[in-house]
Amino acid sequence: MTLALAVDISLTLLVLAVAGWIIAVRDTFAAMIGFVAYGLLLALVWVRLAAPDVALTEAAIGGGLTGALLIGAAARLRGTEAAARAEYPGALTRTLAAVLAVTVAAALAIGVLALPDPTPTLAPAAAANLATTGVGNPVTAVLLAFRAMDTLLEAIVVLLALLGVWSLAPDRAWGGCPGPRRLVDPDGVLAWLARLLPPIGIVVGLYIFWIGADLPGGKFQGATILAAMWLLVIWAGLADTPPISRTWLRVLLVAGPLVFIVIGFAGSITAGAVLAYPEGHAKPLIVAIEIALMPTLVLTLALLVAGAPQRIPPQ
């Protein structure tokens, strides 16, 4: 057994142990903390699967932002925990659920062991056409050139999710600020970190965004780091969430997808197909789309965590 395989096996066991613990532990708050650790362990798995772009996304969004969202919700719902204890299903339901889960897993495992060899792959096709896009990172090339339609629809889905969250506001709070007003000790550790970390985080976020054209990284990972910095400042009480009726906010939220759509449809005139780029101009257009999407993504991701508007809008 090689050392690499030993590392992989220990990582697998660790991931499965944390996953089992997340499901089994009584305290919901503890389960949410476990989920953040789980996200970071999964990021290591992605590195072992030679997918550093996915590893960054998993650590930033899968573990970080989702974890922050769930921890915040668990803290608010703490009082409902005791009542839920009485609703746990009986031994029969639990046994049937276990049988179902094992059956599904076993069926999938047979599929994993029966995967065709060699696996069909699009890597040679991506490599052959990478030069036409001007970017060096094949994943970025797929995201913004070969499969740009997916990324466009994704940007719109994220925006629709935000609209869905906002629409859950009580009528009187429509147009107001998301989340509760944060009252934190201005000399506390949180406020101190919220002053110390953002300058570093902003540089790291922008670097990961910019390097994404040629190396692992990209707008989603970079935008998540910037969104996290903004949320840190908000949670430390140093800034407040903007009222959702602000014009600048709404303009920035639609600007990214709008630029993407305009450049995409311009492609049908200049390059003969929707979301195609004219010969030789792919790189500047891709960079233009990424720069336009960046503020939209930062705002959307942070506001998705902040939640529905709760406070009456300022007059």
Partner 1 sequence: MNTPTLFGLCAVALVGVGLYGLIVNPQPLRKILAFNLIGSGVFLLFGAIARRGAAVGMGGDPVPQALLITGIVVAFSATALAVALVLRLFDEAGSVTLAPDAPAEPPDA
Distance from C-alpha of 235 to C-alpha of 241, rounded to nearest angstrom: 9
Residue 77: DSSP 8-state: T
Distance from C-alpha of 296 to C-alpha of 155, rounded to nearest angstrom: 9
Q: With beta carbons less than 8 A apart as the criterion, state whether 231 and 277 touch.
A: no
Please list the alpha-helical segments (H only) found in 271-281.
none
Is 61 a binder of partner 1 (CB under 8 A)?
yes
Is 57 a binder of partner 1 (CB under 8 A)?
yes
- Nearest approach in angstroms of CB 185 to partner 1 is 26
Is 131 a binder of partner 1 (CB under 8 A)?
no
Place of tokens 């790291």: 204
- Nearest approach in angstroms of CB 197 to partner 1 is 21
Pick from 36, 42, 292, 293 the residue near partner 1 by CB under 8 A.
Answer: 42
Is 239 a binder of partner 1 (CB under 8 A)?
no
- Nearest approach in angstroms of CB 286 to partner 1 is 13
Q: Between residues 191 and 225, which has the closer beta carbon with respect to partner 1? A: 225
Among 230, 95, 239, 243, which residue's Cα sits nearest to residue 177? 243
- Nearest approach in angstroms of CB 190 to partner 1 is 22
Binding residues for partner 1 restricted to 178-237, rule: CB under 8 A: 218, 220
Binding residues for partner 1 restricted to 110-129, rule: CB under 8 A: 112-113, 115, 119-124, 126-127
Is 286 a binder of partner 1 (CB under 8 A)?
no
Q: Between residues 138 and 242, which has the closer beta carbon with respect to partner 1? A: 138
Q: Between residues 18 and 193, which has the closer beta carbon with respect to partner 1? A: 18
Among 229, 232, 238, which residue's Cα sits nearest to residue 185? 238
Place of tokens 């220990």: 10
- Nearest approach in angstroms of CB 148 to partner 1 is 10
Among 288, 234, 297, 284, which residue's Cα sits nearest to residue 260? 288
Non-local (6+) Cβ contacts of 116 within 8 A are: none
Non-local (6+) Cβ contacts of 182 within 8 A are: 234, 235, 236, 237, 240
Q: Between residues 62 and 201, which has the closer beta carbon with respect to partner 1? A: 62
Is 312 a binder of partner 1 (CB under 8 A)?
no
Is 241 a binder of partner 1 (CB under 8 A)?
no
Stretch that binds partner 1, among 197-205, 241-249, 258-266, 299-307 (CB under 8 A): 299-307
Is 70 a binder of partner 1 (CB under 8 A)?
yes
Q: Between residues 83 and 183, which has the closer beta carbon with respect to partner 1? A: 83
Kindly state the number of chain residues that form the binding site for partner 1, as judged by CB under 8 A: 92
- Nearest approach in angstroms of CB 58 to partner 1 is 6
Is 172 a binder of partner 1 (CB under 8 A)?
no
Two structure tokens written together for 80: 């409902």
At 90 the three-state DSSP class reads coil
Is 89 a binder of partner 1 (CB under 8 A)?
yes
Place of tokens 């999710």: 161
Distance of CA 175 to the CA centre of its chain: 25
Is 139 a binder of partner 1 (CB under 8 A)?
yes
- How far, in Å, are 207, 256, 264 from residue 267 at the CA level? 29, 17, 5
Pick from 131, 135, 136, 165 the residue near partner 1 by CB under 8 A.
Answer: 165
- Nearest approach in angstroms of CB 175 to partner 1 is 17
Distance from C-alpha of 202 to C-alpha of 223, rounded to nearest angstrom: 10
Among 254, 223, 243, which residue's Cα sits nearest to residue 308? 243
